[in-house]
Each structure stands twice: as C-alpha cells, then as structure tokens.
Chain A
Amino acid sequence: MMNDKNYTLDTQLLNKLFIAIAIGIFTIILGIFINDRIWPNILLSAIYITGIGFAGILFVAIHYVSNSGWGAIIRRIPEAMFSTLGIGFLLMLLVIFGAHHLYEWTHLDVVAHDPILLGKQPWLNIKFFVLRIPIFFGIWYFLGRPIINHSRKQDKTGDLIHTKKGVRWSAAWLYLGGIAFVISSFDWIMSVEPHWFSTIFGLYNFAGMFNAGLAFMIIMLIYLRRNGFLTSIKDDHLYELGRYLFAFVTFWVYIWYSQHMLIWYANLPEETVYFAKRHAGAFGLLTIINILTNWLIPFLILVFRKSKRSEKTLILASVIVLIGHWIDLYIMIFPPLIGNIPEIGLLEIGTIIGIIGTVSFVVLKSLSKWNIIPTKDPYLEESLHLHT
C-alpha cells in the first residue's frame, strides 16, 4: 500500500530555484538604493509569503479540530508550507526600515497637525508597530510548531496521544492565530491609508490569503504526483481541494462585495475615498481584473465536476488565483503610495520571481526532510479510501 517514496530535491530544480531567489534578493537590494517603490513591493512579498505559511497551518488546524479524515494523506504539504512563515518574518523586519516610505503615520510632523492621526497614535506608532510584529509571528509560530511536531512524532511512535494533542493546539491556534491575522492585516495593509478604515478588512484579507494557500497546495500536490512521489493521491483528493478552492473564491467575492456595497450605499466621504482611488482610470481596470482572476474565471472553471477532477483545469484555476491574489494585494497597498497610475515594472517582476523561488524552495526543502505521508496517522486508512 505505502509505496510512496519520500521527496528529494533534484539539483536541476534546485539550481533554477536558487537563480529565482537570487533575482529576488538582487532586486530588493538594488531597489533599496535606486527606487522607493521597492518598499511596497517588499511589504507585498512579506504578506504574500506569510499568507502561504498561514494558510498551510490553518488547513492543518481546521482538519485537526474537525476530526476530518480525508486530508490525512496530503497533510505533509500544508505542514511544509508552515516553514515559509520564517521568510515572511524576515521580510517584515526589513519592512520596518522602510516604514517611513510606506506609512503616513510614521511622519510625526504630519501626525502633529492631524487630529484623526493624533487620535490613532496610541495604536499607530512605530514602537508599538515594531513590537506587534514578533507578537503576531510568535502566536503563529509557537502555537503552530507543536501541531507539526506532534504529527512528526506520531510517524515514529504511532501513539494516539499525538492526534489528541494536535487537536488541542489546533483549537488554540485557530482562536489566537485568527485574531492575530485580522489585527495584522489592519496593521500592515490598512494603515497604509491611516485615515480610512473598514471593519471587514481582516476577513477580506483572510479570504484572499486562504485562496492563494489552497491554490498553492493544489499545484504542489499535482507536481508531486506527476513526479511520482505522492502516488496514493487519487482524483478524489484533488476534487476535495478543488471544492475548497471553489467555495473560497466565492467567499472572497462575497466579502469583497460586502465591503464595497456598504461603502457605496452609505456614501460617507471618509470611506468612499478608498474606492474613489481604486475604481478610476487604470486602477479601475485593475480592479476588474482582480474580480475576474480571483472569482469569475476560477468560478466558471471550477463549477463543473469534471474540471475539479482534472489536473489541467485545476492547475489553470490555481495559477489564475495565485496571480489574482498578487493583484489583490497590489490594489490594496499601492494606490496611496504611487498615485493614480499603476506601475508594474522590473521591480515587481523581480520580486514576483523572488516570491516564487523562495516559497517553492522553502516548502520543498521542508517536505524533503520528513515522510511525505503521515504513516501512522489514525485517519490515514480512511484518507486512502476517500471516495466522493
């Protein structure tokens, strides 16, 4: 039954990934010296990479607390995604040095003459901002690490206690990690425009982040299966993940619309300013592309049963969603910083290549260290016989 061989990185792929990482690092270093537009790019990359890791451990935790059986066989992939949180943390530390270019509330002279920003100063000041970053990552990492450690220990002992402990840590992680995620998206993204606020913003970011994580997971799964590593995966497992993605792209547009409609309907100047910037001109076009790539195209692809069971259509939908998530973050972060015309140049392309290289390398490296299947998980047998 268990003829799945463990993952090993081949050198050809490794070289390609190293080139991609080198391009990313080179772009960041060069950008810091020549162009201030690198800072929003670093912020975007940090949030994107953190999101992949967050989605991975979130997926594992959801499956633990819901006692769901089908996901046991693919659990090592989201577990490996967890390790990208470290890269996200490093990039977020780098963002601190560019905070002056990103966040208006760091300009103390501006804040002093602005009653709104003055009122927000107890929360939005650089000291507290810097302090919150390790708190967020600490919650995600130190509550998430035990889940994965228990899962790996179970490979050796086969003890049921590890599953029970995993459930407990997962419950704690889901509660605190979720709160930290909402606050972190207020901190890192929403405070780029410190006058504007939206209470649903954290949930909106959550939806986009989970979409990207699921899409990445599907691509990893298909890549591993095609290369003969996870051969026990059936089309049914892809079907389940396809349904997840289908549900969450719909959830994303539901939240997008909820935010948009309430602001449009209430028509308050301090709120509409956000969409006024993003719906006019070239950014308006980008907003349409955002909805197409994050919802309409994946929705229409995945609505059919057959397309959720076929590798080709799943990869197509996943790649579109991953691109869409980047555009989504771009629309959230960039408009107040670069004006009315979106600029997508070499800096953006360089950091995108860097993101792809870093995330793929970190996840595959982490995957190669452990059994590719949790061999003694109590749910493994059920997962192998998944039938939908």
Chain B
Amino acid sequence: MEKYLVGEFDNEYDLKDAVSAIRNDGFIIEDAYTPYGVHGLDNAMGLKPSRLAKVCFGFATLGLTVALWLQYLLSAVDWPINIGGRPWNSVPAFMPIAFEVTILFAGLGTVFSFFLWRKFKIAKRNYHPSFIATDNKFFVVIYKGEQRKPMSSAIEIIHQFHGKKVEA
C-alpha cells in the first residue's frame, strides 16, 4: 500500500498519545484499528460527532407522521368502522402502531443511510492494515497525501511512542 503509512503499537495509551501527536503535526489520520473500543480515541483523532443522529430523528418524525396519517385515512376517512362505539379518529388506539412504525422507519432509515453514506457494497474489499488488529495490536493509518512535513517525521513520532512502522 503506497497510499498509507501504518504504525503498530502495543497498548492503547501509546496509540492515543501518538495519534494526537501525529495529528498536531499536521498529518491526516485515515483511521485507527484497535481490538476493542478505546475511550478517548475519538477525541484524539478529532472525529466529529456522527451526523446519523439527525438522520435518525428525521426518519423517526417521518415514520410518526406517516403512521398517524395512514391510520387516520384508513379508519376515519376511507373505511370508517364502528368499534365499540368509539369515535372514528381514536388517537389512543393509533398510538401503538404509530410507535412501532416510528421505530421501524428510524431503524431502517438510519442503517440504509449509513450504507449509502459509506458507499457500502456487497462483497466490497475494504482496506485493512493487518488482522492482528482484531487480536492484540493497535494500529494507526496515516494518509500519505498533502502533508506539510516529510513522512519521516511521522515515523519519528511513531518510534517516540514505542511503536513501529509496518508494511501493510
């Protein structure tokens, strides 16, 4: 892989410190790979909060509206049926379905938005530095793009935090 520089670390603390140091030096962190979720790594990498929450809220609102509107249309306008003498537009009876449809829309909408967003395709080969990242090693992947400093200074930082450069 010519596009990326990969550093390997033995523990999360070195990785976290190295990631912030490398980022402060002006390099672009492509991604970090760890065997488990590391608290504070998102801050070190400078990741912004996910925008999926807003998408989720949008879909939930849409689901609620659709469910209420559909039930109103069916049971009060198009085909009114007298059930126990209750009014045709009985909002309490609509609530369980409105609740479920809201969740359905929000869940599916969020998942498929995520797939679209990340250009997900079935059987797409993804870049992965090394499969020891699922075992006991920690990796940082640096993008060799438009950086101001030579790549060697990034390698220096990796060494400084007890890591090593690996060929992935």
Cβ 8 A contact of A387, one of B39, B84, B96: B39
* Set of chain A residues within 8 Å of B95, measured between Cβ atoms: 257, 261
Query: CB-CB contacts of B88-105 with A at 8 A, as 1s and 0s?
Result: 000011011000000000
Q: Are A305 and B49 closer than 8 Å at their CB atoms?
A: yes
B80 close to A (CB within 8 Å) = no
- Known contacts being A261-B95, A305-B49, is A267 close to B40, with CB within 8 Å? no
B40 near A264: Cβ-Cβ < 8 Å? no
Interface size on A, residues (CB 8 A): 10
Q: How many CB-defined contacts (below 8 Å) exist between A and B?
A: 18
Q: Which of A265, A303, A387 contacts B93 (CB 8 A)?
A: A265
Do A260 and B39 touch (CB < 8 A)?
Answer: no
Q: Using A305-B49, A385-B39, A387-B40 as known contacts, say yes or no to A267 and B92 having CB atoms under 8 A apart.
A: no
Chain B: residues with Cβ within 8 Å of the partner, total of 11
CA distance A261 to B90 in the complex (A): 11
Q: Are B39 and A267 in contact (CB under 8 A)?
A: no
- Residues on B with beta carbons closer than 8 Å to the beta carbon of A305: 49, 53
* Residues 288-310 of chain A, each 1 if its beta carbon lies under 8 Å from chain B, else 0: 00000000000000010100000
Complex interface bits, A246-265 against B, C-beta within 8 A gives 1, otherwise 0: 00000000000100110011
Q: Are A264 and B84 interface neighbours, CB within 8 A? A: no
Q: Is the CB of A261 within 8 A of B92?
A: yes
Given contacts A385-B39, A387-B39, A387-B40, contact A264 B92 (CB under 8 A): yes
CB B67 to nearest CB in A, in angstroms, measures 15
- Min CB distance, B38 to chain A, in Å? 10
Residue of A nearest to B83 (CB): A265
Chain B 4-41 near chain A by CB (<8 Å), digits 1 or 0: 00000000000000000000000000000000000110
Cβ of A240 to closest chain B Cβ, rounded Å? 13
* Chain A residues whose CB sits within 8 angstroms of the CB of B49 once the complex forms: 305
Shortest Cβ gap from B112 to chain A (Å)? 22
In the complex, what residues of A have CB within 8 A of residue B43's CB?
Answer: 387
Q: Please, which residue of chain B has its CB at the minimum distance from the CB of A254? A: B99
Complex: A385 Cα to B12 Cα, angstroms:
14
> How far is it, in angstroms, between the C-alpha of A264 and the C-alpha of B49 when the chains are bound?
43
With both beta carbons as reference points, the residue of chain B lying nearest to A263 in the complex is identified as B92
Specify which chain B residues have a CB less than 8 angstroms from the CB of A303 in the assembled complex. 57
Return the CB mask of A374-386 against B: 1 if under 8 Å, else 0. Answer: 0000000000010
With a cutoff of 8 Å between Cβ atoms, the chain A residues found around residue B92 in the complex are: 257, 260-261, 264-265
A261 — nearest CB in chain B belongs to which residue? Answer: B92
13 more CB-based (< 8 A) A-B contacts, given A303-B57, A305-B53, A387-B39: A260-B92, A261-B92, A261-B93, A261-B95, A261-B96, A264-B92, A265-B92, A265-B93, A267-B84, A305-B49, A385-B39, A387-B40, A387-B43
Give the 5 A-B CB pairs with smallest separation, nearest first. Answer: A387-B39, A387-B40, A264-B92, A261-B92, A267-B84
